Amino acid sequence: MIDLNLLKIADPKAIEQVYKTHKKAFMTFGSKYGLVEDELLDVYQDTIIALIENIRKGHLNNLQVELKTYLFSVGKYLIFKRMNSIKKTDTIIENLPKDFVWEDFDDEKEELLSKISTNLKLLGEQCYKILTLFYYEEKKLDEIQKTLKYENKDVLKSQKSRCLNHLKKLLNK
């Protein structure tokens, strides 16, 4: 049994456990859809990434089904998406798990996003934590204040604002 709380903190051992536990069954399950093995493995990895991402965003807090069922349902969705993109088809996939969110980010601003990514790392650990909790894990500022033990929300807000201004300056250099 995998502890979702460990996945929530992105514990590498827990991620490895969930990845290895379901890999074989997923590859068998996915093979009938006609993707080549490398593509299918890539989709499986994306499925795990989507799972972790949704756990970190708190979307699995009230999971009503088995983790495997959830995983395969997400996997099926991503397999169809991949097939649509390769074969230029437009198959609609239903029955996605409730609250599942997976945003595809277009790559038109690839260079800008990569520049932001590089500079985010120069902001320091605290800024990266705040911004990751807010924009990636989609935590509210009140929750972040508690998690990072800020005296009050205003202190956190001005810290976040400083992080953003610093980032802007780095990007304009």
Partner 1 sequence: MSLENEILIEKYFENQLSKEEKLIFEEKIINDERFSKAFEFERNIKKSIHLTEREALKVMLKGFDEKPHRRVISFRNWYWLSAAAMIILGVLFWLSTENKPNNEDLYLSYYQNYPNVVEPIVRGEGNQGDKNEAFKAYEQEKYQKSKVLFHNIFDKTKAEYALFYESQSYFALGETQKGIDILENASFTDDKYQFKTQQKWYLALAYLKLNKIENAKKYLYILAKSENIQQENASNLLKLLP
Contact (Cβ atoms closer than 8 angstroms) between residue 29 and residue 75: yes
Given a contact cutoff of 8 angstroms between Cβ atoms, the answer to whether 116 and 94 are in contact is: no
Q: Considering the complex, what minimum distance in angstroms separates the CB of residue 97 from partner 1?
A: 19
Helix (H) and strand (E) counts for the chain?
A: 8, 0
Nearest to 52 by CA among 107, 11, 106, 93: 11
Q: Whole-number minimum distance, CB 42 to partner 1, in Å? A: 9
What token pair was written down for 150?
């800020």
Closest CA to 29 of 75, 70, 83: 75
Q: Which amino acid is at 54?
A: N
User: Footprint of partner 1 on residues 24-53 (CB under 8 A)?
Assistant: 41, 45, 48-49, 52-53
CA–CA separation, 71 vs 68, rounded Å?
Answer: 5
With CB under 8 A as the contact rule, the residue among 131, 148, 166, 170 that binds partner 1 is 131
Taking contact as CB under 8 A, which single stretch among the options 25-33, 60-68, 90-98, 161-169 is the one that binds partner 1? Answer: 161-169
Q: Kindly state whether residue 138 participates in binding partner 1, applying the rule CB under 8 A.
A: yes
Span 48-87, contacts to partner 1 by CB under 8 A: 48-49, 52-53
Check binding of 114 to partner 1 (CB under 8 A).
yes
Of 35, 120, 148, 170, which lies in the binding site for partner 1, with binding defined by CB under 8 A?
A: 120
Structure tokens of 123? Answer: 């902001």
The residue ranges that bind partner 1 (CB under 8 A) are 10, 12, 15-16, 19-20, 41, 45, 48-49, 52-53, 103, 105, 107, 109-118, 120-122, 131-132, 134-136, 138, 140-141, 164, 167-168
